[in-house]
Every structure is written in C-alpha cells, then in structure tokens.
Amino acid sequence: MSRRALTLLLAGFLVLALGVVGAFRPVPYVVLSPGPTENTIGEVDKKPVISIKGRETYPTTGALSLVTVAYQGGPAAKIDLLTALRGWLDPTVAVVPQESIFAPDRTPKEVEEENTVEMTNSQDSATAAALNELKIPYTMGVSVASTQKGKPADGKLRQGDEINAVDGKPAEDVTVVADTVKAHKPGDDVVFTVTRGKEKLDVTVQTVAGPEKQTLVGVNMQSTYKFPFDVDINVGDVGGPSAGLMFSLGILDKLTPGELTGGKKIAGTGTITPTGEVGPIGGIAQKLVGAKDSGATVFLTPADNCAEAMKAVPDGLRLVKADTLHDAVQALDALRSGKGEVPACEAG
C-alpha cells in the first residue's frame, strides 16, 4: 500500500473514531416527547384519579384526559448527540436547550420540588375553580411549601407554617405575599406573622437579590384551602400545573348530574386559577400527539396556545378554544347537545 493511501486510510479511521466519540458525548439539550394521558374521571392503579368524600357524586362516562410531556436529558442525565439528532428527525418530538427546562440557578432536585409544589397548587386551584363555578363557598390562606437551601428563609420559616401576614399586611393570597417581599430592597428585613402548630409568632427574614435582580427571601409558598368536603386527586408522578383545567372539569363532572362528555373521549390542557381563568402551557405539539394516541377526538386548548396548536394538530382531533373553565363547560354542553356555539382555535 502506498504512503498516500495509508495516510488517507488512517485519516478516515481518525475521522470515523472522532465521529463515533462525538456522537456519544453529552450535549446541553432536552428531548420532549408525548407522555402518558390520564382520564381524570377514570382510575390509576385501580384507584380513582379524583375521589370526593362528604358530597354527593354522580356517575360519569367517556374521558376527560390530562396530557403530559415526557423528557430525556437534563443536568443529572444529559443526552448524547446521537439522541438529539434522532429527536430532530422525529416530527412528534422537540429538542430544546436544557436551560429552557432547567434554569441555571436551579438544581434538578429543586426543579422536581417546584414541580411538586406546582402540581399541589394546581390541584387546589382546580378544586377552587370547580367550586366557584358551582357557587359553593370555601375559605383560603397561604402556607410555606418549602424553603430554598442557603437562602435567608432557610431555617427560619418551616414547611407547613401558615402565613397570616407580611409586615402587618394580611396574607390574602400568594401574590400579596410575593409582592410585599418584592417591594423591599435587598438587605431589608421582612416580618412574617405565621401560625406554627398552635403557636403564633413573628419571624424576621432579611431579603437578598435574586438571579434576575428581584428581591426574595427563598421561600416557596402554596395556597391553602378549607373546602366544605374532601377532594383527593391521585396522578402518581405527574408534576407541574398544566393539568388544572382537566382536574376542574373532572371534579365538576363528578359533582353534577348528567355527563359533561356525552360519552366522548375529551382531552385537554391548561393551567387554572381559582377564579377559573385558563392559562397557556408548554409542549402543546407533543400533548396533541399524546391526546390523539389515547383516542381523544376533541382537545380543549388554552387560547394563547391556539396558534401553535393549529400548526401541529393531528388529523381527526378537533381543537376547542378554552379561555375560562366556564367557557370549557359551555363548549362541552354544546358538543354534547349539538346546540350552541363551540369556540374553535383560529390562526393568530
């Protein structure tokens, strides 16, 4: 073999070796794919997704399914270049920068904890929204869900503390507490009046500047509610706030005579506020695929996600726009009865 041929052969092997090594090197991306769906008026592991005690409930049929997004990657388990390339070639998945899912100032554990808090808040907000729709009264407050390690609140405020006031201002909801803290300058003292067990006490916490220069103390809060009956939601490892709308509809369906679905398989997504406003979510394209795969024929879509959803909707899946819980209920009534307007997503 000539020296030139040998050189080319060695160079080829080197390029191949580098390519193979490079294909398996970790890259800072996350692959999003369609996740499992759960019927909120059905069961998970032979247990009802929604259990209601202390109030009359009614039979349901069909499905009111929440949809999820599964992901590969992240700081603790980076994907390799080959996995990312496969994702880029698959129209049903998305490959996004790692920092869009895992903020640089958050550890994977902190992200998981925040998702758990968001899910708990979402379930409570969903119950509150359903009760508001039915005009059933309840009371609410604010409590400490967790504190961020190394931040001023760590070791001073405790999980389960009920926040009664901040700087003497009644803690009417989470937003009031957060806004009161943000109104301070870094280095200021904030006085939290809390109930801890049977004891009521004032806890002084110094503020610091956050990564985006906002003032904070490092406390994760959640709204607490006192409902007139028990609503328990069981969804396993699902986290985040995007199932709020479907939880509310599932609760409403169980608390009212008749059937919201008319026996149809309905899926949907959207955050929910206690007053029933539906908010946008991420991963809409993957959620649409998951809904279609589950057999759904109708997909309740937050208004702000409509434009994106229209570009990705699978054949045979009807998009119905939902601005509020009340709008979603009216749309389902119209679908079931064949009377009235069903709001559709429009190109934005």
- Which of the residues 146, 242, 264, 292 is marked catalytic? 242
As a whole number of Å, the end-to-end CA separation of the chain is 65
The secondary structure of residue 54, as a DSSP letter, is S
Radius of gyration for the chain, computed over Cα atoms and rounded to the nearest angstrom: 24
Catalytic residue from among 156, 254, 264, 287: 287
DSSP state of 168: T
In the residue annotation, 143 being an active-site residue is answered as no
Are 219 and 206 in contact by the 8 Å Cβ rule? The answer is no
Query: What phi and psi values does residue 79 have, to the nearest 5 degrees?
Result: -85, 165
DSSP string of 59-123, one letter each residue? ---SEEEEEEEEEEE-TTSPEEHHHHHHHHH-TT-EEEEGGGTS-TTS-HHHHHHHHHHHHHHHH
Residue the block writes with tokens 């708990």:
120
Q: Which of 293, 231, 249, 270 is nearest to 55 (CA)?
A: 231
287 catalytically annotated: yes
| DSSP-derived 3-state class of residue 200 | strand
How would you class 50 by CB atoms within 10 Å of its CB: exposed for 0-12, middle for 13-18, buried for 19 or more?
buried
Q: Say if residues 11 and 19 touch (Cβ distance below 8 Å).
A: no
Q: Long-range contacts of range 85-88, CB-CB < 8 Å, 24 or more positions apart?
A: 85/23, 87/29, 87/31, 87/33
Contacts of 312 by beta carbon, 8 Å cutoff, 6+ apart = 284, 285, 288, 289
Strand 199-206 versus strand 215-216 pairing type: unpaired
Does residue 305 sit in helix, strand or coil?
A: helix
Q: Write out the catalytic residue numbers.
A: 242, 287
